[in-house]
Amino acid sequence: MDDELNALRRTGMRWNTPLSEPHAELLLDRMALGEGHLVDLGCGWGELLLRAAARAPGLRVTGVDTDVTGLERGRAAAAERGLTVNFTEADAATWDVPVERAFCIGAAHIFGSTKAALEGLARVVPSGRLLYGDGFWAAPPNPAALEIFGPDTLTLPELLDAAVDAGWRVLHLSTADQLEWDDFESTSKAAWQEWLLVHPADPRAPRVRAWLDERQRQYVRDYRGVLGLAYLVLGR
């Protein structure tokens, strides 16, 4: 897709993860935010990071990502809300400044695997708390789901074991419910669906329609109720 459509696609999303407003507030509560430095590795546009900054004015807040469009959206939102957040374009896996708090949600792939992420993040947060979000198999996957998400996806018990093996204590565990998943999948397609209704004869419309239809088929047939998303607040 071209730059215009790529920039449009996620504009209907509050955050790029299956998460409700009450669930987000719960996670921020469990992070016990105060002073110190909070970094969000793989932040995208950093909506949860912005809310953390609003909660804890004494917190130094940094978001790191390579997605320029997402970073620009985050900077604009921070300016609009009068928040001081440093959105940095960089490979989040190379972050080497120790912090007291960190977020890493849906971004384990930047480290290579879940286990590598949990080990790497232990170096980022030598003492403090990490909000870690990652996919897990909530039910046995079919071959199509395995092909989409890869053989390294863990079950929930395996994910918790990996966290403990990396030196973390699990302070909080919650998982995205079905409504959060359905809303996430719908909002991830919403802006393109609206565009398609207005521009059905656009030369780009067949590609957009095919992408949307395939994504919907994959979700409903292959991984709805099969892939879960766990939110862990981990401490060291």
pLDDT for 2 equals: 76
Say how many domains are in the chain.
1
| Residues 38, 108: Cα–Cα separation, whole Å | 18
pLDDT for 151 equals: 87
| Residues 233, 190: Cα–Cα separation, whole Å | 30
The verdict on residue 111 lying in a domain is yes
The verdict on residue 82 lying in a domain is yes
The verdict on residue 106 lying in a domain is yes
Q: Hey, which residues does 229 pair with through a beta bridge?
A: 135
pLDDT for 55 equals: 95
3-state helix, strand, coil in the chain (%, to 5): 50, 20, 30
Q: Provide the residue range defining the domain that includes 107.
A: 12-176+229-235
For residue 38, the tally of other CB atoms under 10 A from its CB is: 26
Give me the CATH number covering residue 111.
3.40.50.150
The verdict on residue 46 lying in a domain is yes
| Residues 98, 177: Cα–Cα separation, whole Å | 33
Beta strands in the chain (DSSP E): 36-41, 59-65, 86-89, 101-105, 129-137, 154-155, 169-175, 227-235
Token code pair at residue 10? 């996620």
The verdict on residue 35 lying in a domain is yes
Asked if residues 38 and 101 have their Cβ atoms less than 8 Å apart, the reply is yes
CA 217 to chain centre: 22
Closest CA to 49 of 40, 41, 58, 57: 40
pTM of the shown model: 0.95
The verdict on residue 113 lying in a domain is yes
pLDDT for 3 equals: 78
Q: How many CA atoms lie within 13 A of 23 on its CB side?
A: 20
- The pLDDT profile of the chain, 236 residues, written as one tens digit per residue, is 777 888 888 899 999 999 999 999 999 999 999 999 999 999 999 999 999 999 999 999 999 999 999 999 999 999 999 999 999 999 999 999 999 999 999 999 999 999 999 999 999 999 999 999 999 999 999 999 999 999 899 999 999 999 999 999 999 999 999 999 999 999 999 999 999 999 999 999 999 999 999 999 999 999 999 999 999 999 99
Measured distance between the N- and C-terminal CA atoms of the chain, rounded to whole angstroms = 43
Token code pair at residue 117? 């992420």
| Residues 232, 175: Cα–Cα separation, whole Å | 9
The verdict on residue 185 lying in a domain is no
The verdict on residue 216 lying in a domain is no
